[in-house]
Amino acid sequence: MGKKTFSFDIILQPEFPSNSLVLIQEALRITNQYRINEIFKSRLITIDSKKVRSSNGQWWKADGGLEAIKNPDFIILIGGNLPIQKKSKKLFSKLRTAHKNSSKIIAVDTGVFIIAESGLINKETIVCTHWETKSNFIERYPDIKIVENIYTINSNGLMFAAGGISTLDLILECIKRIKGKSYSDEISEALIYRPREKSTLQKNENFNLSKNNICQKSILIMEKNIETPIKITEIAKKLNISLRTLERKFYNLYKMSPIKFYVNLRIKFARNLLFYDDRKINEISSIAGFNYNSVFINSFKKIYNKTPSEYRKYFRNQQFDKSI
């Protein structure tokens, strides 16, 4: 590759996670610093070239708008908390043009929603997103292959990182592929970090079934039956244990019954839909497996001290409040 400078245009969506951006910037900066050369060049891009706020309330100045993108080596799209509400035909067009011109496109966190909306994903493309938004993504795009890995790399130039530290894993892998292992090793050593393989699962440590953990096996069954909940007795039957044994294990580990845990799990699922989506409350109630809206509202309020409508309104006001 010689002394070629690799360009990264980083598109920031409103309410994006700043930790992903910082990890990307630090990874690129460290190599430039160690090699005393501008090997990696990056710019912050927003749709309208104006400042954009991250999810922690910080405002970030852009280096330019979408019109500034001119066939970079990489486009990194960092999604935000409003992936569907902030659609942009101009962005879709820019992504399609860049992909056609062989720019590699990396979607971070909810950025996968934007890539799906742009029409770039084909039948062979494998994507990933943060586990909190996976169910929401499947609801919207049931025909797209999605996995629970921390990142995916496709032969068509599309890459996806689930968010958080997985963003660093993917960037290190990209750097290793274009500049070699010595470059990526320098970065990981400077950050005191050991890169993970793309086959790593987001919940690998917490949901390791090799330990024969009855509770974790039960939770996996619950997660697969959110919209149409099954009886706890059926879960116990599937695991070939008595209901009393299952209840005792949940009380010992979680200090609550499996029934209550199941309800809380469905409420958390609904919370994520309230946060990332604009579906109506009664629709979310149904998707979360509640036959009666009143039961859903009361159960939600017991956990979050707000009704679903109040919860959504509270966060939406923060997300659109430019004074914060």
The CATH number corresponding to 6-190 among 3.30.470.20, 3.40.50.880, 1.20.140.10, 3.40.50.300 equals 3.40.50.880
Band the pLDDT of 4: cuts 50, 70, 90: confident
Question: H-type helices in 131-213, by residue range?
Answer: 131-140, 166-179, 181-190
Closest by CA to 110, choosing from 153, 78, 142, is: 78
Q: Where in the chain is the domain with CATH 3.40.50.880?
A: 6-190
Question: CA 243 to CA 89: how far, in whole Å?
Answer: 53
What value does the mean pLDDT take over residues 120-143? Answer: 92
Question: CA 166 to CA 246: how far, in whole Å?
Answer: 34
Q: Where in the chain is the domain with CATH 1.10.10.60?
A: 209-320
- How many Cβ atoms sit within 10 Å of the Cβ of residue 142? 8
The pLDDT value recorded for residue 50 is 94
- How many Cβ atoms sit within 10 Å of the Cβ of residue 143? 7
What value does the mean pLDDT take over residues 263-271? Answer: 92
Residue 125 backbone phi and psi in degrees, to 5: -70, 130
Question: CA 254 to CA 251: how far, in whole Å?
Answer: 5
Residue 145 backbone phi and psi in degrees, to 5: -75, 120
According to DSSP, the residues that pair with 76 across neighbouring strands are 10, 106
Choice between 306 and 275, residue whose per-residue pLDDT is larger:
306
> Does the predicted model carry a pTM greater than 0.85?
no
Hey, what CATH topology would domain 209-320 get?
Answer: Arc Repressor Mutant, subunit A (1.10.10)
Choice between 1 and 169, residue whose per-residue pLDDT is larger:
169
Band the pLDDT of 321: cuts 50, 70, 90: low
Range scoring the smallest mean pLDDT among 3-17, 54-68, 219-233, 310-324: 310-324
What value does the mean pLDDT take over residues 98-108? Answer: 97
pLDDT at 1 over 70: no
Question: CA 66 to CA 46: how far, in whole Å?
Answer: 7
Band the pLDDT of 161: cuts 50, 70, 90: very high
pLDDT at 9 over 50: yes
